[in-house]
Structure 1
Amino acid sequence: MLTIQCGSGHKYEPEFNPPDESFPKERWNKEVLIPKGDFIFGTDSPVLEDDGEEPARECRITRDYYMDAYEVTNSEFWIFVQKTGYKTDAENFGNSYVFDLCLPKEVLESADQMGDDLLAPEGEFRANYWQGEFPDEDGGGDGFPLTTAPVDAFGAQNEFGLFNMIGNVWEWTGDRFARYHTHEPKNDPSGSPRGTERVKKGGSFLSDTEHSYRIRNAARHHNSPDSSTNDMGFRCVRETKKPNTFKKTM
């Protein structure tokens, strides 16, 4: 469950000079109501056991919540930075991880630190992921080789109307990672209190179906909270108002 909080206000003052005409002057992402209810956490058929995919167990979300239909776009994040003066960890550290094939030649030469299934039913791509021989060549059959796609480039991936839950960019969650999740509570699980890394979900445009097959709902991976790469992002989630509580007074 994503728990990154961005507040309920979705309007920004159009007082900035955006880099180009493609940048909107206000946030255009829309919220989708996700009703409380039961869901299956994990799988009994793990592909990557070290990621803590198993076992499948029934869990429950006890309150309705809102989730953005789309991942936060570059333009929306730019507006947020202009509004708040926020500095990313990558800016503070002075570096970030970027897959080498995604870089222009001149940038790559100056770098000093180097490091199908149901995804295309009937030949129609439903997600942005790697096609080809990883990590040497991305065939780009989905139309976006070695790059993210616009958040609305593909159709919704579930009945709630959410886009890019699989592929495009990894999405941070608020859950703390632990190899085993069976000790977590059934209601509103949020990861191990002893975990130091955060769970990320969904895979990215650099994920393929032959190697680290993490572009699956049951898949989960983890990174330290200060990690940054060119294939990680997030979407905003907020809770509905909590029920009122009353104290009986004499």
Structure 2
Amino acid sequence: MLKSFFHTCLLLLCTQYLLAQSVEQVDFRVEDTEVIISYQLRGTSPFTIVLLYSLDGYTWQRVPATACSGAIGENINPANRLEIRWQPLLHSNQLEGNLGVKVQALFRDPNFPEMVLVRGGTFQMGSNESEDEKPIHSVSISDFYMGKYEVTVANFKRFVEATNYQTDAEKGDGSYIYTGKWEKKAGINWRFDAAGNLRNSEENNHPVIHVSWNDAQAYCDWLSKKTGKNYRLPSEAEWEYAASNGNKHSKYSWGDGLPSGTKGGNVRDEKAADKFNWIKNESNIFVGYDDGYVYTAPVGKYAPNELGLYDMTGNVWEWCLDWYDKNYYSTSSSRNPVNNSVATNRVLRGGSWLHYPQSSRVALRNSYAPDDRSDFIGFRVVFPSESK
């Protein structure tokens, strides 16, 4: 039975996948209860290889690494012929249906964002703490890949060098910095830190800042053309689902409690309060917490959340795909909602090194104009899981 399922379905699905970026000439054979999948991997840098399977040709699940051996997982180098050996019965004793597989290659080039598969689900989006977060409503999200980290200075630098792109800050009158007071300074752009100093190469692993929604979108467009994958900004529903640990919907990305040690993030803390002479109370800072940085921190400095994502709370606000509408939750779709109705502002999520504890909640919605930029704004990217 196993052999006949794979013979009828794998041939079709592997043929479709020949069109995918980097993976070519996928073939298979079945030996007893083991499926042996061979493929060619094109490119110049190592990839992370994952195997997906489906019982209906539409809904795909990731094959557990414990059921596979061979050329799967991280740091797989391009080669003319690679092989994965999958033992389906190690993780399921019922594979009945129109069974098929796909091979996916995820970039491991350090100049491109590293991606994490976020398994979809249904969660309760919103909160009762602010009017634009109401009503709390049920939302279902499909699988998608999300940047493990915020887009870094190094990531953005590669884009600019490849395209000679000029950001809104460079074409306009600079960007805002905070040094105890707000100041918009001409000449400040993505090459500068939050205090307005030109970054050195040791800070290339910090999140890129002073970038507008327009700049983030241009980066996504370039990355899509470069890789053949549909990179974009996350919808705010995807962002909230990922930040709040899926259907657990925690208050912060690290959990419901206050930050402690690496189980926290780069937030408005004691160190920043000392620098700027802020009042130290629970509404103004995370009292008793020192994250080690006044301004931005290198990405991945603190522990990831339960989905393997870093800095979802704090460090920098992250641009989302949606236009902002304070009443959007009253009419939004219950499945993969995105607000495409043109408005004045785009959504940002996640809080930053600068903003109040209340603003660090995963449910909080912020918004700025698409050409706005500042020393607390950055972004991360997503692309959809290949579902068909």
If the length of structure 1 is used for normalisation, what is the TM-score?
Answer: 0.72
* 1:144 corresponds to: 293
Distance 1:68 1:103, change over 3 A: closer
* 2:195 corresponds to: 103
Distance 1:149 1:42, change over 3 A: same
Distance 1:184 1:192, change over 3 A: farther
* 1:236 corresponds to: 381
Residue segments in structure 1 that go unaligned for 5+ positions in a row = 1-7, 14-24, 106-115, 244-250
> Looking at CA atoms only, which structure, 1 or 2, has the larger radius of gyration?
2
Larger RCO (alpha carbons 8 Å, 6+ apart)? 1
Q: Is 1:82 equivalent to 2:161 in the alignment?
A: yes
How far apart, CA to CA, are the structure 2 residues paired with 1:66 and 1:205? 25
Native 8 Å contact 2:150 2:379 kept in 1: yes
Q: Is 1:118 equivalent to 2:118 in the alignment?
A: no
Native 8 Å contact 1:184 1:192 kept in 2: no
Q: Is 1:185 equivalent to 2:333 in the alignment?
A: yes
Task: Measure how far apart 1:12 and its partner are.
Answer: 8.9
Native 8 Å contact 1:53 1:219 kept in 2: yes
Distance 1:134 1:225, change over 3 A: farther
Which letter maps to 2:195?
Answer: L
Distance 1:184 1:76, change over 3 A: same
Deviates more, 1:131-140 or 1:189-198: 131-140
* 1:30 corresponds to: 114
SS at match of 1:76: helix
Counterpart mapping for 1:189-208 below 5 A: 189-191=337-339, 193-208=341-356
SS at match of 2:138: strand
How far apart, CA to CA, are the structure 2 residues paired with 1:12 and 1:197? 40
Aligned residues: 203
How far apart, CA to CA, are the structure 1 residues paired with 2:334 and 2:126? 13
Please identify which structure carries the higher helix content. 2
CA RMSD of aligned residues (A): 2.8
Which letter maps to 1:177?
Answer: Y
Task: Measure how far apart 1:171 and its partner are.
Answer: 0.3
Task: Measure how far apart 1:191 and its partner are.
Answer: 2.1
Deviates more, 1:123-132 or 1:217-226: 123-132
Which letter maps to 1:91?
Answer: E
After superposition, the C-alpha distances for 1:84-107 in whole angstroms (9 at most, x for unaligned) are 2111111111311111245369xx
Q: Is 1:127 equivalent to 2:219 in the alignment?
A: no
Native 8 Å contact 2:262 2:301 kept in 1: no
Native 8 Å contact 1:12 1:79 kept in 2: no
If the length of structure 2 is used for normalisation, what is the TM-score?
Answer: 0.48
Task: Measure how far apart 1:81 and its partner are.
Answer: 0.8
* 2:123 corresponds to: 39
How far apart, CA to CA, are the structure 2 residues paired with 1:28 and 1:118? 33
Q: Percent identity?
A: 32
Which letter maps to 2:363?
Answer: A
How far apart, CA to CA, are the structure 2 residues paired with 1:175 and 1:160? 23
* 2:317 corresponds to: 170
Native 8 Å contact 1:177 1:192 kept in 2: no
